[in-house]
Amino acid sequence: MFGSAIGPLIMPITTAFKTEIERISILDEHGNFDESLGKDLIPNADLVRLYEAMSACRFLDEVAFKLQRSGRMGTYPQNMGQEAPSLGAAYVLTKNDWLVTCYRENCGLFWRGVPMESILMHWMGDERGNAIPRELHCTPIAIPIGTQMLHATGLAWASKYRSEPHIACTFFGDGATSEGDFHEACNFAANLEIPVIFFCQNNFWAISVPGKIQCSAPTLAQRGIAYGMPCIQIDGNDIFAVVYAVKKAAAYTRATSKPYFIEAVTYRLADHTTADDARRYRDQAEVDIWKQRDPLIRTRDLMKKRKLWNDSKESDLQERLGKEIAAAVARAEGIAAPDRTDFFNYMYSELPSDLIRQRETMHTHSLGQDPSQLPAGAAMPTATAH
């Protein structure tokens, strides 16, 4: 009745899939350092440089805020509290790997070599700030939510097609995982085995929408599991955990040509942008808790414990950063105004003949483009700048 001469009846319920997601924390907000994971992960000299890079990004945030408030710059999204994720990734990845950012990755971009004035110019409305030197392999700041993940997948696919050993690392927030672009990029990368690191910076707020509305699952990392990716969650305010995770992800991605998903749990300490007032939707008590988890504070405390840093060095650093950032602001504000012909010069690699005439005459109407239509002795109308 319950079996047969051949053997016992096989039960129809089996486990189709089982998994777990690791969470990595090496240097926590209490100063606890895990030697088993963190030993030799970041040499002391590099740790100092990484701290200085985070400090520079934080200093620029403060200056940019004042520029916006004084009417010298448009809306600006501060990076405060989220310096470690992009910096740790830029530190680990090679110069030929793509950094595909949204708008809170200044620290990683600066480490890669993007000039500070480029970021300032972008938010001042000067498109020349997006002309990032090609050899840096950084894409311009992406304002639309989620679109850059598709770009990263395409860039990595191009590298694979050319048999180049380069990968792409794309950054996005918790809110972006609700976008169709996110799911399309993940599905495309996983199914076609494209070497992309999907790096989610979960700061719990998509402007004013809390993360619990974005995702009912306990982690955002598990969204990558649905696409067959290895996934990991890390303390995103721990520069050591970031470096550990990106090293692991990059090694896997290079070896397999498959994507990897990292969720960095972090927090933006400032408003979403200078056009936002987070006090309307966030409790101050929550912000105060996360201030104690500041990546700069915990890194500085560890350096002091290792005798790598002191108050005198901190004072010298702040003085140096003040001069460097003031110079970057001067370069951004002092750049010569663009020429009207730039619109034509950078539109096409080879300008069509009709647009060449338009550029030379600064006229779009037929009379301006063909002066032979003018009556004898008539003067050409003067071009008007728009």
Confidence band of 362 (pLDDT split at 50, 70, 90): confident
Average pLDDT, stretch 116-135? 95
Q: What is the pLDDT of residues 33-63, one digit of tens each?
A: 999 999 999 999 999 999 999 999 999 999 9
pLDDT over 50 (residue 386): no
**CB 76: neighbour CB atoms within 10 A?**
24
Q: Which tokens sit at 183?
A: 């799911």
Confidence of residue 380 (pLDDT cuts 50, 70, 90): low
The C-alpha angle 329, 73, 106, rounded to 5 degrees, equals 65
CA distances in angstroms from 201 to 102, 206, 344, 364, 372, listed in the order given: 11, 11, 38, 47, 61
Query: Is a pLDDT exceeding 90 seen at residue 125?
Result: yes
With a cut of 60, say whether residue 3 has pLDDT above it.
Answer: no
Q: What's the DSSP call for residue 373? A: G
* Fold exhibited by the domain 22-334: Rossmann fold (3.40.50)
User: Which of 44-53, 88-97, 153-162, 208-217 has the least mean pLDDT?
Assistant: 208-217
Q: Which residue has the tokens 């004072």?
A: 315
Q: Write down the mean pLDDT value for the chain.
A: 92
**DSSP 8-state assignment for residue 27:** B
Residues 262-291 have pLDDT tens digits of 999 999 999 999 999 999 999 999 999 999
Q: How many CB atoms lie within 10 A of CB 286?
A: 13
pLDDT at 156: 98
Q: What is the DSSP string of 105-173?
A: -HHHHHHHT--HHHHHHHHTT-GGGG---GGG-BPPP--STTHHHHHHHHHHHHHHHTT----EEEEEE
CA pair distance 169, 179, nearest whole angstrom: 18
Average pLDDT value for residue range 147-166:
97
pLDDT at residue 166 greater than cutoff 90: yes
pLDDT of 341 over the 80 cut: yes
pLDDT at 384 over 70: no
Q: CA 254, CA 136: separation in Å to the nearest integer?
A: 19
Domain residue extents for the chain: 22-334, 346-386
Using a CB cutoff of 8 Å and minimum separation of 24, what contacts does 278-284 make? 278/205, 278/208, 280/208, 281/205, 281/208, 282/205
pLDDT at 385: 44
pTM of the model: 0.89
Q: What are phi and psi of 168, to 5 degrees?
A: -125, 145
pLDDT confidence of residue 364 = 72
Given a cut of 60, whether residue 2 has pLDDT beyond it is no
pLDDT at 161 over 80: yes
Stretch (H or E) spanning 205: strand 205-206
The CA-to-CA distance between both ends of the chain, in Å, stands at: 89
As a whole number, mean pLDDT of residues 203-208 equals 94
